[in-house]
Amino acid sequence: NELKAILPFHRSLRVANYDNQSYAAVIVGLESSPEELITKHGYEVDKVYPVEGV
């Protein structure tokens, strides 16, 4: 919920918790990578996988 609150696209955000320190996020409908915005708020981004046509 904290991640959803700081990001402007929170309505399309889905977060999966893998363990106490790892999460995966799926964000639908973005034209650019959210990586800079996410890292600006203190979250570490390991990889970004852009997908078209989903």
Is residue 28 assigned to a domain? Answer: yes
Cβ count near 10 (within 10 Å): 12
Domain annotation covers residue 47 = no
Overall size of the chain counted in residues: 54
Strand partners, 14: 26
Does residue 52 fall inside a structural domain?
no
User: Alpha-carbon distance 5 to 7, whole Å?
Assistant: 6
pTM: 0.51
Q: Is residue 11 part of a domain?
A: yes
For residue 19, the enclosing domain spans 2-40
pLDDT at 40 (0 to 100): 87
Instruction: Assess if residue 16 is contained within a domain.
Output: yes
- 3 membership: H or E segment, kind and range: helix 2-6
Amino acid at 26: V
Residue 21 banded pLDDT, cuts 50, 70, 90: confident
* β partners of residue 23: 17
pLDDT at 10: 57
> Structurally, how many domains does the chain consist of?
1
